[in-house]
Amino acid sequence: MKKVELIGVSKSYDKKTEVISDITVSIEPGEFFVLVGPSGCGKSTMLRMIAGLEEITGGVLKIGDVESNWLPPSKRDISMVFQNYALYPHLTVEENIVFGLHVKKVPKPERKKRCEDVAEMLGLTPYLKRKPRELSGGQRQRVALARAIVNQAPICLMDEPLSNLDAKLRAHMRSEIRQIQRRLGITMIYVTHDQVEAMTMGDRIMILHDGKIQQIGQPIDIYNNPANPFVATFIGSPPMNIGEGKVGSAKNEIVFSEEAKIAVPEKDWPLLKSDTIIIGVRPEHLKAATKETKAEDKVYVKTTNVEVLGNETIFSFDMGGREWMAKWTGQWRIDVGDMVPIVINYDSLCLFDSETEKIIKTPSDIENHVFDKEVFI
């Protein structure tokens, strides 16, 4: 296992505009580290710089304890799985898997043993004599993964390897890749634009936007405590609801409209330094008002779209000129156009500074359920 360290790394193609800017991060040995962000944010470029396929124009890359900026890809002891699998169509599955070992002049008996071991691990043994065109998308993806694993490199890079698969197979392969990484103990750096993959696979995730780091941390910490509105809306499905509220003159309330006002406890009045503030709330934290709910705590919203998914119901509504969503457990009989009473709890809100967009208040009432392991024994 090896550590990967980027210190002030940047990338520019024209020496004027940086597509990657001042990236500093340390990826620990044996860690599953996910780079996530929208298309064009620079995550694949960063992966290619680690692999040696792109020149680093600024900063230092260390692999292990060795400065690796100018090391050729063959000397970096890294394996890589590409988005398009990059299999040789004229070679069999077995020949594709051991191709890298053949180039490295690994003895034939050793090549065969490694191939058989990794094929059994990934369920490819019946397909070793087939050509890639005879395989399904999921099987081809496994061949590409096997080719990376068989090299026994301590670091494996993956560039959106599941994007060509259907939803069911993608979910299965997420679990499979994670289990293999744990079993082999390799350091894995995984690029994706899918926040579900990031949340379910990563030990830590790094969110990129316009070539800059937005936040690094454990998935659940980022979900509960996003650094800014971009992170808040990128992580989570449906995304966090974001809106702008006016701060009351007495600093004791936030006003969306005449019908929607949220009282602010006195201890948080110092947070409200300007006339406006950015508010964020997760769809699942918007609750249904009941008969016991005080009239002043109810907010009536008109639904614009309803999705009943069986185990949960998601509906949209207008809030201050923006579309918000609520996600409630179970099957709710709600139709488009209905006026639905909801409760916006102050303790469930994120507050962001309207100028810097940095978070100034995290949710304190998010219904986290932490169980002692002894409960299950």
Return the CA Rg of the chain: 25
Give the per-residue pLDDT at 297. Answer: 82
What is the edge-to-edge ordering of all strands in the sheet holding 261-263?
261-263, 253-255, 241-247, 276-281, 350-352, 359-361
Q: What is the dihedral of CA 17, 22, 28, 29, to 10 degrees?
A: 40
Structure token pair of residue 241: 């609801």
Question: Could you give phi then psi for residue 253, rounded to 5 degrees?
Answer: -155, 160
Q: What is the dihedral of CA 97, 100, 102, 104, to 10 degrees?
A: -150
Q: Please answer whether residues 18 and 45 qualify as being in contact, where contact means their C-beta atoms are separated by less than 8 angstroms.
A: no
Contacts of 369 (CB under 8 A, 6+ apart): none
Give the per-residue pLDDT at 133. Answer: 93
Structure token pair of residue 14: 């024209």
List the chain pLDDT tens, one digit each, 377 residues.
Answer: 789 999 999 999 988 889 999 999 999 999 999 999 998 899 999 999 999 999 999 999 999 889 999 999 988 989 988 878 889 999 999 999 999 888 888 899 999 999 998 898 888 999 999 999 999 888 888 899 889 888 888 999 999 888 777 888 788 888 888 988 898 889 999 999 888 899 999 999 999 999 999 999 999 999 989 999 999 999 988 899 998 888 876 678 888 766 678 888 888 888 888 888 999 999 999 999 888 888 888 889 999 999 999 899 999 998 878 899 999 999 999 999 999 999 988 888 899 998 899 999 888 766 654 545 555 45
Give the per-residue pLDDT at 376. Answer: 47
The model carries a pTM of: 0.88
Q: Which domains, and CATH codes, for the chain?
A: 4-224 (3.40.50.300), 229-361 (2.40.50.140)
**CA angle at 266 for the pair 242 and 232, rounded to the nearest 5°:** 20
Q: Please answer whether residues 227 and 358 qualify as being in contact, where contact means their C-beta atoms are separated by less than 8 angstroms.
A: yes
CA–CA separation, 214 and 125 (whole Å)? 43
Say which DSSP state 64 is in.
T
